[in-house]
Amino acid sequence: MSDLDRVKQGLASFVRGVVPKVAYLGGFPALVASQNADGTLELLPDDSAIPPQSGVPIRTGIPGATVKVAGGARVLLEFIGGDPRSPVASIWESGTVTELDLATALLKLGSAGAVDALVKGTTYRTAESTYNTLMAAHLTAAAAAWAALAVLPAVAAVPATAALCVTAGATATAAATGEATFEGGAAGYLSTVAKTI
């Protein structure tokens, strides 16, 4: 409060007395001490004139969005409408987000023109892995069958045909190896930071 002469001080005190909610209308920087299981925050305002707040809901500004943060994040504490009953944590100054959930029927990335659906990774990979296992078994069996066929006397008597059988067996073996290599890299195919329903 700037320096006032005594007459104005009296008026200023009177005004503060009759409109006390003005003091609650600011945005107060605060430290997140911790986040509760229900998503609310324990806040320590920078200004000692504002008491520590418990169980403060977060207003992300996006309907359906919830966030989990690590302690030490910094956020703005506000009292909605200057109401001492309604503290909220609003604008984030800084912090480590450990989880961000968007509950929405449709999420478009890029622009409103986004029309290509994202792949449901886990579901797709499970089905793909099942198929790949079947294919690997088929290719292994096929390689063996081709190898056996190549040495049959009737096939061996026709060198060109025997050569085709050998080639077919080799490609089947290579494909089975390719399947195994593909599945071997499975741990790296799915994002650990982005998930959908």
Partner 1 sequence: MSASYITANGLPVIEARIALPRVGVWHADLVVDTQAEPAGPVTISAADGALTLSGTQFRGGVARDILFTRVVAGQAGLGRVAPARAYRGVPVQLVLRDILAAAGEQLSAAANPGALAIQLDRWSVLQQSCGAAVNVLFQHPALAGMAWRFLSDGSFWTGPETWAEAPNDFDLEDDEPHLNRATVFLFSPTLLPGMTFLDRKVSYVVHNFSADLQRTQVWFE
Among 55, 64, 71, 72, binds partner 1 (CB under 8 A): 55
Which helix (H) or strand (E) element contains residue 155?
helix 153-156
**Per CB under 8 A, does 1 bind partner 1?**
no
Count the site residues for partner 1 by CB under 8 A. 21
Closer Cβ to partner 1, 54 or 96, answer by number: 54
Residue 189 sits at φ, ψ, to 5 deg, of -90, -25
Q: Least Å distance between CB 45 and partner 1?
A: 8
Residue 99 Cα distances to 67, 141, 189, 197, angstroms: 6, 46, 20, 15
**Per CB under 8 A, does 169 bind partner 1?**
no
**Per CB under 8 A, does 54 bind partner 1?**
yes
Residue 131 Cα distances to 73, 125, 138, angstroms: 46, 10, 10
- Say if residues 142 and 104 touch (Cβ distance below 8 Å): no
Q: Which of residues 57-116 bind partner 1 (CB under 8 A)?
A: 79, 84-87
Pick the stretch among 10-18, 67-75, 105-113, 123-131 that binds partner 1 (CB under 8 A).
10-18
